[in-house]
Amino acid sequence: MANSFKKSIQKNQKEYYAKNPKPKVKKKTENLDWKYFYGRSYVLPVLFIAISIFSAFSFSNQVNNFYYFTVAAYFGLGIYYFVKKPYLRVGKDFISTRRLGYDKSFEADQIKTIELYDGYVLISFKKRRTKWVFAKSINRYPVEDMAIELIKFASLNKVELINETKGNI
């Protein structure tokens, strides 16, 4: 390339970036505002592995490719749901969790009430009839730590909080 052509390109770039500055990069510290609470799923993986074992023994006389696929698929689903930990993520103005393989998130203005009990947490929403249940007995969630963070979330975002715990939270 000729030097004059390079200089004209550089001049055009300088003029362009003077008119259209590059957007500033956001800092990575935004993610530090999120709190994750991980549980462990036992019920669904045990169910899938039990179905796999049942189908392995009950259909063993009908051996074909679909038989092997069915046994392997149920066993694989059991392992998948055991490895994929359920979680509750609490941000400044949203709450999200994983529901059967996809992430579901709600803003603070969509949350109706947060109910805290000994051993589980219920979150109900304004336009939905379902409630999210985070239980210590079923999914091994750290309910006490979740309760502390959800109390902060409810006071910050003016969400109705029902605290029925017997302990000091």
Q: Which residues, at least 6 apart from 7, have a Cβ–Cβ distance to it below 8 Å? A: none
User: Per-residue confidence of the chain (169 residues) as pLDDT tens digits?
Assistant: 677 878 888 888 888 777 777 666 555 555 557 889 999 888 889 999 999 999 888 877 777 778 888 899 999 999 998 988 889 999 988 999 988 778 888 999 999 999 999 889 999 999 888 899 999 888 889 999 999 999 999 999 999 999 888 776 6
Judge contact between 98 and 83, C-beta under 8 A.
no
Task: Give me the domain span that covers residue 108.
Answer: 87-163
Q: Could you tell me if 65 and 101 lie in one domain?
A: no
Task: Examine residue 109 and state whether it is found in any structural domain, yes or no.
Answer: yes
User: Given the structure tokens 């500055």, which residue do they identify?
Assistant: 21
Q: Could you tell me if 102 and 129 lie in one domain?
A: yes
- What is this structure's pTM? 0.68
Task: Examine residue 157 and state whether it is found in any structural domain, yes or no.
Answer: yes
Could you give the CA distance from residue 77 to residue 79 in angstroms, rounded to a whole number? 5
* Cβ count near 6 (within 10 Å): 10
Task: Examine residue 18 and state whether it is found in any structural domain, yes or no.
Answer: no
- Best CA proximity match to 42, nearest among 88, 87, 74, 81: 81
Task: Examine residue 12 and state whether it is found in any structural domain, yes or no.
Answer: no
Q: Could you tell me if 62 and 95 lie in one domain?
A: no
Q: Which of 63, 83, 103 is the last residue of a domain?
A: 83
